[in-house]
Amino acid sequence: MSTPKRLVVAIDGPAGSGKSTAARRLAQRLGYTMLDTGAIYRAVALIARERGVSWDDEAGLAGVAGGLEVRFAFEGDVNRVFLGAREVSAEIRTPDMNEGASRVSRHPAVRAALLDLQRRLAAAGGVVAEGRDVGSVVFPRAEAKFFLSASPEVRARRRFDELRAAGHEVAFAEVLQDQVERDRRDSTRATAPLCQAEDALEIDSSALGPDEVVARMEAIVRRHCRGE
């Protein structure tokens, strides 16, 4: 029996579409690594902060991005993020780094500097890449591409539940309005707006649980692996 081909799978979608959970579970089911591209933008923001490079300094940030050595490794359910030998999994997930990642990801020179790194990390195949532009820009030739969507109400509900669970007193209407505003910004910004690759299969997760989403993706990827 021949060894199954190890593919590059690209999953894009807006915040709250469930793409991180889907990407993680799919990677684990396939025995692939998960390339969390958002974590890479977060790492650029973290290192820039430590080196005193402003999040508005495009050339300085491109220098940081070009020298980044990122590695991902699953430990149980957690996709741990390393810069060289240093683990930064927790440090890149603070509110400050949410803001930093959003700021640094707007610069074209930063995005360009990270292309090579992302492609190197996927060069051997066996990777589920997750982000905003992995199917359209980073891996246009990925063998399987998905675009995960969900209605603004459903995504706002997920965010609302998360915030409430973390002890934040928020009103649903406010979260929904933020969501609609963020979607508008993300899809109209000049640099790398969120967009669906033409050949990506859209999965609407509004009425699907994570298991159903992953099952659909897995069936399609396994068909590709068999060359069907």
Residue 19: CB minimum distance to ligand DC, A: 8
The phi, psi pair for 159, rounded to 5°, reads -65, -40
159 binds ligand DC (CB under 6 A): no
In angstroms, the first-to-last Cα distance of the chain is 16
The answer to whether 133 and 14 have CB atoms below 8 angstroms apart is: no
Member of 13, 14, 38, 60 binding ligand DC (CB under 6 A):
38
Residue 216: CB minimum distance to ligand DC, A: 22
Instruction: Tell me whether residue 39 or residue 53 sits nearer to ligand DC (CB atom).
Output: 39
- Token code pair at residue 2: 């021949």
Instruction: Tell me whether residue 37 or residue 205 sits nearer to ligand DC (CB atom).
Output: 37
155 binds ligand DC (CB under 6 A): no
**Strand order across the beta sheet in which 78-83 lies:** 70-75, 78-83, 86-87
Among positions 39-98, residues that touch ligand DC (CB under 6 A) are 39, 41-42
14 binds ligand DC (CB under 6 A): no
The answer to whether 101 and 38 have CB atoms below 8 angstroms apart is: yes
Instruction: Tell me whether residue 102 or residue 206 sits nearer to ligand DC (CB atom).
Output: 102
145 binds ligand DC (CB under 6 A): no
Instruction: Tell me whether residue 137 or residue 225 sits nearer to ligand DC (CB atom).
Output: 137
The answer to whether 79 and 24 have CB atoms below 8 angstroms apart is: yes
Among positions 98-117, residues that touch ligand DC (CB under 6 A) are 101-102, 105
The answer to whether 58 and 44 have CB atoms below 8 angstroms apart is: no
Residues with Cβ < 8 Å from 115, sequence gap 6 or more? 137, 138
Q: Which stretch binds ligand DC (CB under 6 A): 33-41, 76-84, 163-171, 219-227?
A: 33-41
Structural element, H or E, at residue 210: helix 210-225
Sequential DSSP letters for 108-141: HHHHHHHHHHHHHHTTTS-EEEEESSIIIII-TT
Residue 102: CB minimum distance to ligand DC, A: 3
Tell me the residue number closest to ligand DC, measured at CB: 38
Member of 47, 61, 81, 133 binding ligand DC (CB under 6 A):
133
Write the interaction track for ligand DC spanning residues 189-228; mark x where CB under 6 A is met and - where it is not. Answer: ---x------------------------------------
The answer to whether 121 and 127 have CB atoms below 8 angstroms apart is: yes
Q: What are the residues binding ligand DC (CB under 6 A)?
A: 37-39, 41-42, 101-102, 105, 131-134, 192
